Structure 1
Amino acid sequence: MKRLAIFIYGLACYALFLATFLYAMAFVGNLPAAPRTIDGAPLLPLADALAIDLLLLTLFAVQHSVMARPAFKALWTRIIPVEAERSTYVLFSSLALIALFYFWQPLGGMIWEIDNRSGRLLLNAGFGFGWALVLYSTFLINHFDLFGLRQVWLQLLGRPYTALPFQTPGAYKLVRHPLYLGWFFAFWCTPQMSATHLLFALATSAYILLAIVFEERDLLRAYPQYRSYRQRVPMLLPRLRGKRKVEELEEAA
């Protein structure tokens, strides 16, 4: 009975994540499907709206980073089953995002607005590419393990969980963090960059760069081979093929 309950819990957490992920696309992209989006008419004085938005962004960043650290996981799994740890992380991340969507306050003001049809198409394509790259990257590193489904499924079958081996499939051969690169495209590619959107893009970009530092520190401890991988493969921007070929020849020499 306990195994089934943990499995159902994991499915529910994943379903909430999936709904939140889809809503996030509409929220950031100002799509009409979302009742609340990143832009809109300001409802509060600028200082109050700015303070609320920064608080919401900070709440998400703290939750997302602290709960991902191995030290926190070791303490947390004294309270909850180990098999449900990842699902619980997914649950709290989704709740933090839902709070951000609900309480987010538009600031008003426009930084840039592209009227050229080709320019708008290009930026909208970049926006779509970013979200696709994020999702694609999760499947490269095992989507179901990343969001807790593999853990709860294995415990339902009574099988022990085994950590995934270190691998660099697909886009991970070009950059170390294609998932984060996808977020950059998703947050910055917009034909209408409002002050509100700029705040969101700047804050999330700063958080991503900081998160990479902590994540790579954990990866170096978990996987000794990550050190050589980090030396060979750039962080976010792929190297030009010619430059990469020169570096390979230098290494061979």
Structure 2
Amino acid sequence: MLPYVIFAALLVLWCTLHSVLATDCCKGRIGRLFDLHGRHYRLFYNLFSLATLLPLLFWGWTLPGPVLLTWDGTGRLLRTLLWLVAAVFIVGGCRRYDLTGFAGLTDPAGEGDGSDKLVTSGILGIVRHPWYTAAFIVLWARDLDLPALLVSAVFSLYLVIGARLEERRLVEEFGEAYRRYRSQVPMFIPWKWPLHLIRRGR
């Protein structure tokens, strides 16, 4: 049992560190210390996150554990359909986000010049966080042993907390426009979209 406790604690530690490194305070201090600013800090942030997460996930993969959930029979078909839905949300997000800026390969469009615009078209008109929706599906639409369940549970909680913190920043940046968008479009589950299609069909 102790390895699972340590594994879960390290997952929580990674999520905490990942969030702290994304704060403006930490960006400023590390940026001044190592001369990392803008896209250079974003690139460091992404590489550091991967370099610390992948070994942790590999260790979890090697841990033995009882199988708690399997997708058998018709469940496999449902799982495949869910993966297709996740792919739609991933691709839809890729078409709306600045991928090179997100990766730290270029400066994000509009950063620092006051020209940032609130994008609400495409998949962002269905859910506010399409990549998070896809992540939830990937985390849970799979066979789960105990280590995998710990990963899914910890990262699901992290995504919810992270989304709420991100939305605070977006409200500060876009004000009433984002509040209106938030009231019209769900966070993760596209439950309003079918209702919108029904109304349009009348």
TM-score, length-normalised on structure 2? 0.82
- The match for 1:61 is 15
CA distance in 2, matches of 1:200, 1:208: 12
| Structure ID, larger Rg | 1
CA distance in 1, matches of 2:7, 2:91: 26
Q: 1:112 aligns with which of 48, 69, 77?
A: 69
**RMSD in angstroms over aligned alpha carbons?**
2.8
- The match for 2:124 is 172
CA distance in 1, matches of 2:193, 2:81: 24
Given the superposition, is the C-alpha separation of residues 128 and 247 from structure 1 closer, same or farther in structure 2, using an over 3 Å criterion?
A: closer
* Greater mean alpha carbon deviation, residues 195-204 or residues 99-108: 99-108
User: How many Å apart are 1:72 and its aligned residue?
Assistant: 2.0
- The match for 2:151 is 200
**Is the contact between residue 151 and residue 161 of structure 1 (CA under 8 Å) also seen in structure 2?**
no
- The match for 1:237 is 189
Deviation per CA, 1:58-106, whole angstroms, max 9, x where unpaired?
2320122111122222222212231311111111111121221333252
- The match for 2:165 is 214
CA distance in 2, matches of 1:179, 1:123: 18
Given the superposition, is the C-alpha separation of residues 168 and 138 from structure 1 closer, same or farther in structure 2, using an over 3 Å criterion?
A: same
CA distance in 2, matches of 1:166, 1:246: 26
Unpaired segments ≥5 residues, structure 1: 1-46, 155-159, 249-253
- The match for 1:23 is none
SS state at 1:59 partner: helix
Equivalent pairs, count: 194
CA distance in 1, matches of 2:95, 2:80: 23
SS state at 2:101 partner: helix
**Is the contact between residue 185 and residue 192 of structure 2 (CA under 8 Å) also seen in structure 1?**
no
Unpaired segments ≥5 residues, structure 2: none
User: How many Å apart are 1:49 and its aligned residue?
Assistant: 1.8
User: How many Å apart are 1:115 and its aligned residue?
Assistant: 2.8
